[in-house]
């Protein structure tokens, strides 16, 4: 009886965590290039988009302390079986910053907890 209770409790906990994990937008790769005073970022991401109510809705470029430098908004769901790549241009990176972090945003779950570290080329 005790084992059955433990198994049921674990199952309920596992199921309640599943929606949060399903919403995580994964950043698979990112590149940055400088053009004059501004930067262009190209980011490849993946997410199990489920339609207009639940999809990868964007990504942020952050400093080490969490300040948002730019946000790339995504306006529609994508094929959930294929990663996709989008860019943002005209990003102003303050002098002295050599590393930025990129996080995905899900329309349902919000910002991902996992950050992608990107060292800027010199």
In order of their start, the domains of the chain are 23-119 (2.60.40.730)
- Tens of pLDDT, residue by residue over 50-107, are 888 888 889 999 999 999 999 999 888 888 878 999 999 999 999 999 999 999 998 8
Q: Answer with the residue of higher pLDDT: 10 or 52.
A: 52
Is 7 exposed, middle or buried (CB count within 10 Å of its CB: 0-12, 13-18, 19+)?
A: exposed
């Amino acid at each position: 009886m005790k084992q059955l209770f433990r198994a049921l409790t674990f199952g309920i906990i596992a199921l309640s965590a599943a929606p949060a994990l399903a919403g995580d937008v994964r950043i698979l790769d990112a590149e940055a290039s400088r053009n004059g005073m501004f930067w262009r970022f190209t980011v490849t991401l993946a997410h199990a988009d489920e339609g207009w109510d639940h999809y990868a809705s964007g990504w942020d470029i952050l400093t080490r302390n969490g300040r948002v430098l730019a946000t790339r908004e995504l306006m529609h769901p994508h094929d959930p079986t294929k990663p996709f790549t989008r860019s943002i241009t005209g990003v102003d990176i303050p002098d002295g910053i050599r590393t930025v972090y990129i996080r995905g945003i899900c329309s349902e779950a919000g910002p991902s907890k996992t950050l992608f570290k990107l060292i800027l080329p010199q």
